[in-house]
């Protein structure tokens, strides 16, 4: 549980979600430690925090490094992962090693060091092929990608460590998180930053599928709030919660809203769907509201406007892109879970 001046560990603190969480915890007066190997995270994301936090560079697959990072911490926020459904399909072994073995190492370290609460970043992808909408925590999980299987396995370890060892764990199933600092350049980047930067830079976005697939997009501030609440809520150990806005939008409608916000008139190019992508996702957040006190404070349109403004400040204009590859392959990635 968090109290004034708690010592906390944020794994993956150099990543998109982790860096926002580390900043919030720093601002709230906690002693923040970050563990990251910077395989997918960025030092730039935490550069403004380095005077106030402890940074440990290393891999969570090393039990010794994980143990050293956890030592003395009251709460562990486990955000680190090797993200992306497509990446996991190409290399399931590495995805499993990072997302399952790495999580198990941290759970063992947290158990041995007497951590009060372990908050785990899971994913809506665990619902997989189950067509039921909205997604409810009690429904069957039918993961269809190695990434989703790994997240489900890690959730299972979290629940087992509570039941067997008494380590208080809470899993948060993120639904397509977006916002500032989300990298649009990776081939595994999430859809919103790629759409935005394509429009701002005068490049035609590419959509895998017909664009009618839909998602429950969640602005980063809502996700950070959920983590803080999960660290403090009573009677939630061993459980998993959906973290989202409880509303969905199709990619085609998303494109339309982003065209308006960016002032672009570009149309999208449509390619065949990708394996491992699910057609629709929508969260029921009733349990998170009732048990965590979660209520999304930033809606989709406000979040999109904030994110467009961020990318407008950092993106080059169309005239600055001569000689670059103008193709953008955009589907639905789990870089934002």
* pLDDT for the residue 187: 67
Tell the CATH topology of 179-216+247-281+299-330. Answer: UDP-galactose 4-epimerase; domain 1 (3.90.25)
* pLDDT for the residue 189: 76
Tell me the pLDDT band of 331, cut-offs 50, 70 and 90. Answer: very low
Tens digits of residue pLDDT in 188-241: 678 999 999 999 999 999 899 999 999 999 999 999 999 999 999 999 999 999
pTM: 0.92
Choice among 66-75, 149-158, 183-192, 251-260 with the minimum mean pLDDT: 183-192
Residue 122 has pLDDT above 50, yes or no: yes
Residues annotated as catalytic are: 147
Q: Kindly list the domain boundaries of the chain, sorted by start residue.
A: 7-176+218-243, 179-216+247-281+299-330
Provide CATH code, domain 7-176+218-243: 3.40.50.720
Tens digits of residue pLDDT in 291-319: 999 999 999 999 999 999 999 998 765 54
Residue 118 has pLDDT above 50, yes or no: yes
Tens digits of residue pLDDT in 256-273: 999 999 999 999 999 999
Mean pLDDT on 52-78: 95
Q: Measured between alpha carbons, how far is 199 from 261 in angstroms, rounded to an integer?
A: 10
Residue 170 has pLDDT above 80, yes or no: yes
Tens digits of residue pLDDT in 219-233: 999 999 999 999 999
């Amino acid at each position: 549980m968090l109290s004034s001046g708690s010592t906390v560990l944020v794994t993956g603190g150099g990543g998109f979600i982790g860096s926002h969480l580390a900043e919030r915890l720093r601002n709230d007066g906690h002693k923040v430690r970050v563990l990251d190997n910077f395989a997918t995270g960025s030092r730039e994301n935490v550069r403004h925090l380095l005077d106030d936090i402890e940074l440990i560079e290393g891999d969570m697959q090393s039990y010794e490094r994980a143990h050293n990072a956890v030592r003395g911490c009251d709460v562990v926020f486990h955000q680190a992962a090797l993200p992306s459904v497509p990446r996991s399909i190409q290399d399931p072994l590495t995805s499993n090693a990072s997302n399952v073995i790495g999580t198990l190492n941290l759970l063992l370290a947290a158990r041995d060091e007497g951590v009060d609460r372990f908050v785990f970043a899971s994913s809506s992808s665990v619902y997989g092929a189950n067509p039921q909408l909205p997604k409810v925590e009690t429904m069957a999980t039918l993961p269809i990608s190695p990434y989703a299987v790994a997240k489900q396995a890690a959730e299972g370890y979290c629940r087992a460590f509570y039941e067997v060892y008494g380590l208080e764990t809470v899993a948060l199933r993120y639904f397509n998180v977006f916002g500032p600092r989300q990298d649009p350049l990776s081939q595994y980047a999430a859809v919103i930053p790629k759409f935005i930067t394509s429009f701002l830079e005068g490049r035609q976005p590419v959509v895998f599928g017909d664009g009618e697939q839909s998602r429950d997009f969640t602005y980063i501030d809502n996700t950070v709030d959920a983590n803080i609440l999960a660290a403090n809520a009573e009677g939630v150990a061993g459980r998993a919660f959906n973290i989202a806005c409880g509303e969905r939008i199709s990619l085609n409608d998303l494109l339309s809203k982003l065209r308006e916000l960016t002032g672009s008139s570009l149309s999208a190019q449509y390619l065949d769907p990708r394996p491992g992508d699910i057609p629709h996702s929508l969260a029921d957040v009733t349990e998170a509201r009732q048990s965590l006190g979660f209520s999304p404070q930033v809606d989709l349109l406000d979040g999109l406007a904030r994110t467009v403004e961020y990318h407008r400040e950092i993106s080059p204009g169309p005239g600055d892109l001569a000689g670059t590859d103008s193709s953008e392959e955009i589907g639905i990635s789990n870089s934002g879970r």
